[in-house]
Amino acid sequence: MNTQQAASDLNFDPAPHYDRVTPAWNWLLGEELHYGLFKTGAEPLADATRALTFAMADRAQLEQGSRVLDIGCGTGAPACAIAQRYGCDVLGVSTSAVGLADARARAERHRLSATVRFENRDGMDTRLPDASFDCAGVLESSHLMPDKPRLVAECARILRPGGRMVLCDIILRAPMPCSKFASGSAR
Q: Which helix (H) or strand (E) holds 11?
A: none
**What is the strand order of the sheet 116-120 is part of?**
116-120, 89-94, 67-71, 133-139, 159-168
Of 20, 14, 44, 17, nearest in space to 32 by CA: 44
- What pLDDT sits at residue 18? 73
For 10-171, give the CATH class. alpha beta
Q: Which helix (H) or strand (E) holds 52?
A: helix 45-59
- Radius of gyration in angstroms for the set of CA atoms belonging to the chain, rounded to a whole number: 16
Of 115, 106, 123, 146, nearest in space to 7 by CA: 146
Domain extent listing, the chain: 10-171
Q: What is the pLDDT along the chain (187 residues), one digit of tens a residue?
A: 333 333 345 566 777 777 777 776 777 777 777 788 899 999 998 899 999 999 999 999 999 999 999 999 999 999 999 999 999 999 999 999 999 999 999 999 999 999 999 999 999 999 999 999 999 999 988 888 889 999 999 999 999 999 999 999 887 666 666 655 555 544 4
59-66 own/partner pairs: CB under 8 Å, 24+ apart: 59/164, 59/166, 60/135, 60/137, 60/164, 60/166, 61/164, 62/86, 62/88, 62/134, 62/135, 63/87, 63/88, 64/88, 65/89, 66/134, 66/135
- What pLDDT sits at residue 104? 98
